[in-house]
Amino acid sequence: MLQVQFLRDNKERVLEGLHKRNFKQTELVGEAVSVDDERKKLQFQLDQNLAEMNTISKEIGLLMREGKKEEAEAAKSKTSEFKENAQDLQQKLKAAEARLLEILYLIPNIPYEKVVAGNGADDNEIIYQSHDVEGLGEGAIPHWELAKKYNIIDFELGVKIAGAGFPVYLGKGARLQRALVQYFLDKNVDAGYMEVNPPHVVNEASGYGTGQLPDKEGQMYFINEDNLYLIPTAEVPVTNIYRDVILDEKDLPIKNTAFSQCYRREAGSYGAHVRGLNRLHQFEKVEIVRIEKPENSYAALEGMVEHVKSILVDLELPFRILRLCGGDTGFAAAMTYDFEVWSAAQEMWLEVSSVSNFETFQANRLKCRYKGDGKTQLVHTLNGSAMALPRIMAALLENNQTENGIKLPAKVAEYAKFDLIN
């Protein structure tokens, strides 16, 4: 969430940033400032009213001590009027504060200066590609057919148990999933990230803290009886560890990693691009989260990009890195890099990781600050996938299929304790 003072002081920059995002409701910026002006006016009137009440209360006490009961009673009647006025002002102030918050929740983050304007995926910038890519040629089959051929993932059984988008991993498929999770966690821990095992459900405050609510409410599974949400990513519970916390400067940076199941309704998703493992309602992912001083956050973002890049190099998968344009950047992010791997049998790129800097957008919602040099200020938060399992699995199966089975890359085989699926 952007601070209203930032909107007030940087209106031109804000409107330019919203234009980069192709955001249409730019009138919200002026409305937020206007409502904040009204909030300040009401607060001033309330403070004056309370000060008058306090003065009169002191006068009443003095009059009573002096035996001037009639004057004291007259003063008391004035107090009643001030009390009624104070209650009215408090109600109006509460309504103005709620309206201001409601408006601020609707305004997305302002893109970083390097982010270009654009409407969607076609306008993203390719900043790195590891290999020239091509299909596997005649006879290559997609991962959902390979999964059935080698009995390692059963999509139909998942439909029976839960519905579409909930596959069942079997035998070497289940072992390969577990091996990849362990490798990703080890890689992250070796890079200085502390492992965290968080809850897989969060409360409403946590959803608002990281920006999933109200923006993505329709994409989250909701447990009505308990007012809890199944997490769409471990980013949500891990980042909320630091909600309402004032950190010491010496504690920064904070680097966490976590494995979790992820749950996404993916409402409205259909078509060939969602077949097999391409888009699921439940999947496994390992996440990295960083809490940084503002002046260090973009260097940290580039470090996270290099870290994810090193994982994909180990997996021996063709991949590319994109810097997202304004129109494709997530609501809460200031800048995002997407990683895509090449699916050789499908002959298409599959997103497997997003690495983002949110600057103070999440921290302002979370009230996550740090104290240094005698002052307290908001931190910057960052997160990224390292890695999401389904499409990594899809690419591993498709890109490594041979006449004799699926030959796993050396690093994967080291963790899986087998090198061939046949």
- Residue 233 is assigned to a ligand binding site: yes
For residue 286, say whether it is annotated as part of any ligand binding site.
no
d(CA 402, CA 302): 36
Query: What distance lies between CA 389 and its chain's CA centroid?
Result: 18
Write the CA distances from 114 to 69, 117, 123, 234, 337, integer angstroms: 72, 10, 14, 27, 12
CA dihedral 304, 306, 312, 313 (to 10 degrees): -160
Alpha-carbon distance 413 to 417, whole Å? 6
Q: Is 203 annotated as a binding residue?
A: no
Nearest to 142 by CA among 398, 402, 406: 398
Write out the two tokens for 64. Answer: 């009573």
Stated as kind and residue range, the H or E segment containing 69 is helix 69-106
Strand order in the sheet with 401-402: 401-402, 405-407, 420-421
Tell me the β-bridge partners of 125: 323
The answer to whether 275 is annotated as binding is no
Q: Which residues of 209-238 are buried (b: 16+ CB within 10 A; e: fewer)?
A: bbbbbebbeeebeeeeeeebbbbbbbbbbb
Q: Does 265 appear as a known binding residue?
A: yes
Is 351 labelled a binding residue? yes
Q: Which residues are CB-neighbours of 128 under 8 A, at least 6 positions away? A: 309, 320, 321
Kindly state the helix (H) or strand (E) to which residue 411 belongs, with its residue range. Answer: helix 410-416
Asked if residue 212 lies in contact with residue 228, where contact means CB atoms within 8 angstroms, the answer is no
Q: What are phi and psi of 26, to 5 degrees?
A: -65, -20
Distance between CA atoms of residues 352 and 125, nearest Å? 17
Tell me phi and psi for residue 357, to 5 degrees.
-110, 125
**Closest CA relative to residue 380, chosen from 289, 303, 306:** 289
d(CA 402, CA 179): 21
329 assigned ligand-binding residue: no
Report the distance separating Cα 420 and Cα 233, nearest Å: 31
356 annotated binding-site participant = no
Binding residues for L-serine: 233, 264, 287, 383
Which residues fall in the annotated binding site for ATP?
Answer: 264-266, 351-354
Report the binding-site residues: 233, 264-266, 287, 351-354, 383
